[in-house]
Structure 1
């Protein structure tokens, strides 16, 4: 890592701040593109797809909610809402964890695995297009009121 100027004068933007803003812009661009493509083609949001994919990668297609939360970088409350939507759609099932009565396991259903497998090429295509391309802002910025 190279040394950068830590503090700038009033109105000065450091290289670290510019890099941070570029990272945020790229993340927003990719997130919006994934959401649009997955929703249009598979009726899934990006977070929903990520949960399905993480479960599909596991040998028994099942994991504790807390484990999933760490891998998809969502709070447990946000993940609970995502799992609720997936459960309503019949893509996952919730079960009490037999080893820990306080924990809940989430298991991918056959329909959930099928939907994830159908959506995977779409997700991979968007990643391939956006990760190595110049930034193109594809979503409207959030307006502060």
Structure 2
């Protein structure tokens, strides 16, 4: 069903304010985290790829699964991984069980960079969000985002 101007339930003034505040807050957090990762030669998307690979068995994952985990299209992930591969952070190899499949592998260089950047990144996350809001609000944010995720699935 497609909503039209006649059928949509418009946001109240308070809902509109909260929605716009949410968008501005997410934007500021992402900008701050990107800025804090820049001295390491990373952006937030690249950092997230390194984290996911570091948590994977044998530090490797199929590109299709990695794309889902980092919420990137396969095309965008391919371009990002190519940049990271050129920096020596990741390598790609063929999947032994599926000729069309490609596996991304975290290199020692990538793991070392992640370990170097992680303390700064975590401090940035704390400063940008975790330590800024009350613990109860942080927990409520987690519940709200879980509801959003559940509704999308």
**What TM-score results when the alignment is normalised by the length of structure 1?**
0.79
Are residue 69 (structure 1) and residue 67 (structure 2) matched? Answer: yes
Structure number with the higher helix fraction is 2
Cα distance in 2 for residues equivalent to 1:98 and 1:15: 54
Question: What is the root-mean-square deviation of aligned Cα atoms in Å?
Answer: 1.5
Tell me by how many angstroms 1:101 deviates.
Answer: 1.1
Tell me by how many angstroms 1:115 deviates.
Answer: 0.4
Q: How many residues align?
A: 124
Among 78, 81, 84, the residue aligned to 1:80: 78
Deviations 1:92-127 (A, max 9, x none): 000011111111100000111000111111110111
Taking a change above 3 Å as real, the CA distance of residues 45 and 7 of structure 1, as seen in their structure-2 partners, is closer
Deviations 1:24-61 (A, max 9, x none): 11211111111111112x11111111100100011210
Please name the residue that 1:24 is paired with: 23
**What TM-score results when the alignment is normalised by the length of structure 2?**
0.75
